[in-house]
Structure 1
Amino acid sequence: MYSLRRFISLCIGFSFLVMSYTGIILFLSPKGRVANWTNWEILGLDKTHYTHLHVTFMVLFLVGMLFHIYLNWNALINYLMNKSREFSLFTKEFLLALGLNLLFLFGTLYYWVPFEQFLDFQDEIKASWEKKADQAPYGHAELSSLEEFSQRTNSNVITIMSQLNAHQIQGATLTKSIAQIAKENGKSPAQIFDIINTKPQPQSSSSGGGYGKLTLKEASIQQAFELEKALQIIHEKGFNATENSTLKECAEALHVKPIELLELLKTIQTKESK
């Protein structure tokens, strides 16, 4: 026969175990900004997953407890009876349980010993993650688009795109967030940040395959990008180029290297084809 009491008790037990596990993980986990920046995970789940699991199983636990109280109401009432079998809130067990819960309540709120030491221990654990991880340039930088990121860090957006292309980062556009680009390439936002900040290798005057001498029209044919779109982008960056302008002229006007400008323009064809 199906037993509702047994079913409810097992639901409460399972949800309690999951809540306890996720609670311990969240206790030990880094702060959100560090977890998001470094793609912190345990057993393939990130901090957001553990938070969602903790909350949903808390709901299951609470609903189960309500049914448990309903099914065991008579037994609970018996706990509130004295030796004379009279109802009384002031049994020794009731007062002890109430006192213990009040101790945890006020001890936590007012940082009594040993609650203060316990909470400090948690802060130390979370701070230790920050020491190990590379710091984001500003709060929740992973949510910024590449364009916003370049503005807030005073970086050259063309150089950023060049660096990402040089490291074969796929699907990077100025409007995508760092977190989105990182996810699509199986990396953390911190790794994308490291790529952006990688110093370009020094090049000789002959390096770059002679691209600087190419006109935009020649480069568009050779590298298969859309000429009109390239002219529009360069114009938006502040230089009125024509199809006969060389990559070197455009690059110097935009304060970047010809190869970096070319890498940016090559992304046009990629973005348009997706």
Structure 2
Amino acid sequence: MKNKFSWRAFISFGLTYSLIIVLVSGLVLYVSPPGRYAHWVNWKLLGATKEGWQAIHTIFSFAFVILSLLHLFSINWKAFLSYLRARTEKSHSKKRELVWSSVVVVIFFIGTVFSIPPFSSVMNLSENLTASWEKTEETPPVPHAELLTLAELDTQLPDLSLDQITEKLKRHNIAFENASTQTLREIAELNNQTPMEIYAQITQKPASQMQGSGIGRKSLETICTELNKNADDVILLLEDNAIIADKDQTLRAIGDENGISPKEIYDLINQPPN
């Protein structure tokens, strides 16, 4: 014989689970990085983004409130009314507790609203913890840069034109649809990368790491000779990739004029034929 379904147990378990999830998600949000950084690096914890944790916290907070009301009104309403009647009849003996409870609530409320220590210290600790996630090299150029379109990003990068930005993306096999409407975040999601990685490829300058390797100082013709390639064919290959070059130019000079590193040029020249 099956036991009758117990709504009391169902609601009690639901309240317990909701409370645990609200506490855990609240702690995660308390220490999580600020939104501008979280979106820029696509921050995740246990597979959920910051927005995901915010959604979890909000939904289960609502669930906790709803289950609490059900617990009160559908299960314990009679007991609650009886308790209120008993307390009302004996209220003269509990006035002190009522006053002190009210005072404590008011103190907490005022202290929080006006950022009075030690309440402000709790929020300051959260700010310090969230700020600790950010690294200088990972900081977005402007707050919420992930929401910039390529056209808007062009105004933030005076050294690059929109055509150069789009050519760089194509060169790195970054798929995008519309430079005027698609944001860095949307492009990053489309290519399974972070907005920071997309931005890094756009703003990559002639690589300083190539200095001293000799590649940047060599002429295009010399590189072609070393790789046993025809210089004219290589120039056509570069033109197909929106790189203007002359065989007498060094790779560094070509890179400076086209916003690309000597290594990228070398790798393009040295790639195996299709």
TM-score, length of structure 1 as denominator length: 0.69
Offset, 1:27: 0.6
Contact 2:31/2:130 (8 A) holds in 1? yes
Report the RMSD for the aligned CA atoms in angstroms: 3.6
The match for 2:131 is: 127
2: distance between equivalents of 1:115 and 1:126? 18
Paired residues for 1:99-118 under 5 Å: 99-118=103-122
1:185 aligns with 2:186: no
Helix, strand or coil: the match of 2:127? helix
1:6 to 9, 12, 15: 9
Deviations 1:41-86 (A, max 9, x none): 1011000101111111111111111112213234334554667944
1: distance between equivalents of 2:53 and 2:134? 19
The match for 2:59 is: 56
1:159 to 161, 164, 169: 164
- What is the identity, as a one-letter code, of the residue corresponding to 2:185? A
Q: Residues 213 and 189 of structure 1: is their aligned pair in 2 closer, same or farther, counting only changes over 3 Å?
A: closer
1: distance between equivalents of 2:203 and 2:27? 36
Contact 1:38/1:133 (8 A) holds in 2? no
1: distance between equivalents of 2:170 and 2:17? 48
Helix, strand or coil: the match of 2:185? helix
The match for 1:204 is: 219
2: distance between equivalents of 1:36 and 1:114? 31
Q: Residues 161 and 211 of structure 1: is their aligned pair in 2 closer, same or farther, counting only changes over 3 Å?
A: farther
1: distance between equivalents of 2:114 and 2:234? 68
1:34 aligns with 2:37: yes
Q: Residues 120 and 79 of structure 1: is their aligned pair in 2 closer, same or farther, counting only changes over 3 Å?
A: farther
1: distance between equivalents of 2:260 and 2:41? 31
Q: Residues 171 and 180 of structure 1: is their aligned pair in 2 closer, same or farther, counting only changes over 3 Å?
A: same
- Count of residues in correspondence between the two structures: 230
1: distance between equivalents of 2:137 and 2:85? 56
2: distance between equivalents of 1:74 and 1:101? 27
Helix, strand or coil: the match of 1:130? coil
Helix, strand or coil: the match of 2:134? helix
The match for 1:136 is: 140
1:147 to 126, 132, 151: 151
TM-score, length of structure 2 as denominator length: 0.69
Q: Residues 112 and 33 of structure 1: is their aligned pair in 2 closer, same or farther, counting only changes over 3 Å?
A: same
Runs of 4+ in 1 over 6 A off after TM superposition: none
- What is the identity, as a one-letter code, of the residue corresponding to 2:35? G
The share of aligned pairs that are identical, in percent, is 28
Q: Residues 99 and 4 of structure 1: is their aligned pair in 2 closer, same or farther, counting only changes over 3 Å?
A: farther
Q: Residues 64 and 42 of structure 1: is their aligned pair in 2 closer, same or farther, counting only changes over 3 Å?
A: same
Q: Residues 75 and 101 of structure 1: is their aligned pair in 2 closer, same or farther, counting only changes over 3 Å?
A: farther
Task: Between 4-13 and 38-47, report the one with greater CA deviation.
Answer: 4-13
Helix, strand or coil: the match of 1:2? coil
1: distance between equivalents of 2:152 and 2:21? 40
2:68 to 61, 65, 81: 65
- What is the identity, as a one-letter code, of the residue corresponding to 2:46? L
